[in-house]
Amino acid sequence: MEMSNGETMDHSGHVMSDEGIGHGAGIIKSLGTEGDFVTIEHGPIEGMGMDAMTMGFNTMGEVDLSAFAEGDAVAFMVKKGRDNSYRITSICNTAADGADCLDNIMDH
């Protein structure tokens, strides 16, 4: 996968579960110019067994990144697609909306 800054990511050392859905928290490092891509420096992603790293994500569905900026602390839901890419399905600003803002949108 190529990130917005042109770097690539190597996920070969990360163990993923078969569930395909997880949630995590981190800091936005960059936003794509088209509003459908975000790079997040995140801690471990629960539900997927993914370690902490900086990673770029496409968005899915009705996710709107227009209210977010570099440096924002966020919580997010991520889904692994059939193509093995990871997409943000929900995201909230933990500084503005509270540390538990994701609880209102998580369904697991």
CATH of the domain at 91: 2.40.50.320
The helix/strand/coil state of 81 is coil
Burial of 58 (0-12, 13-18, 19+ CB in 10 A): middle
In a domain, 64, yes or no: yes
pLDDT of residue 49: 87
In a domain, 9, yes or no: no
- CA pair distance 60, 90, nearest whole angstrom: 8
In a domain, 81, yes or no: yes
The DSSP code for 96 is H
pLDDT of residue 61: 84
- Per the model's pLDDT, the better-predicted residue between 5 and 31 turns out to be 31
List the one residue out of 104, 34, 42 whose CA is nearest residue 73. 42
The helix/strand/coil state of 98 is coil
- Full-model pTM: 0.78
- Per the model's pLDDT, the better-predicted residue between 35 and 27 turns out to be 27
Percentage of residues of the chain with pLDDT beyond 70: 79
By the 8 A CB rule, do 70 and 100 touch? no
pLDDT higher than 60, residue 1: no
In a domain, 5, yes or no: no
Q: Please count the structural domains in the chain.
A: 1
The helix/strand/coil state of 104 is helix
In a domain, 8, yes or no: no
Per the structure, the complete domain to which residue 89 belongs is given by 21-104
In a domain, 48, yes or no: yes
Mean pLDDT over 39-55 rounds to 94
